[in-house]
């Protein structure tokens, strides 16, 4: 079932709002991933001083309450959790780069060539636009699957949400 309504065609204002929300959410999710990665990097490289450098206060100032405070590992269990989280973040960042670098390269190339594209070249760039967009958006789906596979807490919360249960 579809609604057969495209809000971008309702009016210029809706089109601008849609575009702004789309690009803001893509950029914001990337910056959240950067912030979490920097926080984990501090935890691994500076386990003692990182606790104070990457505090809740620092995170709130940096990205307006979207990063939780750093907890330094104090036991073997926490150390293994940190290692697991580091591997997960490395994988997430690698997937992010693989999925988003092609669209950046495309946009740079297109900016320089758009006035000279004709015929087959124009068709090729239109096809590439579709491919790099699919790749960019697939990053979100892949990240979701990686979180499901690697995050016990994420899995529990997701299952609770699907089953309409209270999380514990």
Number of folded domains in the chain? 2
**What's the whole-model pTM score?**
0.57
Whether 36 and 113 map to the same domain: the answer is no
Q: Read off the pLDDT band of 69 (50, 70, 90).
A: very low
pLDDT digits (tens, 9 = 90+) for 6-26: 766 787 888 788 778 877 877
Residue that the structure tokens 């092609």 belong to: 102
DSSP H helices in 10-164? 12-45, 50-53, 56-63, 76-113, 120-150, 152-162
Residue for token pair 């990053």? 139
Q: Which domain holds residue 40?
A: 1-72
Among 34, 54, 72, identify where a domain stops.
Answer: 72
Stretch 28-40: mean pLDDT: 77
- Considering the domain architecture, whether residues 27 and 101 belong to the same structural domain is answered as no
Same domain (yes/no): 84, 94: yes
């Amino acid at each position: 079932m579809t609604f057969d309504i495209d809000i971008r065609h309702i009016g210029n204002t809706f089109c601008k709002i849609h575009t702004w929300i789309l690009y803001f959410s893509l950029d914001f999710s990337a910056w959240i991933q950067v912030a979490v990665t920097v926080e984990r990097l501090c935890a691994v490289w500076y386990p003692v001083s990182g606790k104070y450098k990457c505090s809740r206060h620092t995170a709130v100032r940096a990205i307006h309450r979207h990063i939780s405070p750093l907890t330094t590992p104090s036991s073997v269990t926490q150390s293994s959790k940190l290692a697991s989280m580091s591997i997960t973040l490395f994988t997430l960042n690698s997937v992010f780069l693989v999925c988003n670098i092609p669209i950046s390269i495309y946009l740079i190339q297109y900016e320089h060539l758009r006035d000279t594209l004709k015929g087959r070249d124009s068709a090729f760039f239109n096809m590439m636009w579709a491919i790099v967009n699919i790749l960019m958006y697939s990053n979100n789906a892949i990240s979701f699957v990686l979180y499901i596979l690697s995050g016990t807490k994420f899995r529990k919360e997701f299952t609770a949400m699907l089953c309409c249960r209270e999380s514990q």
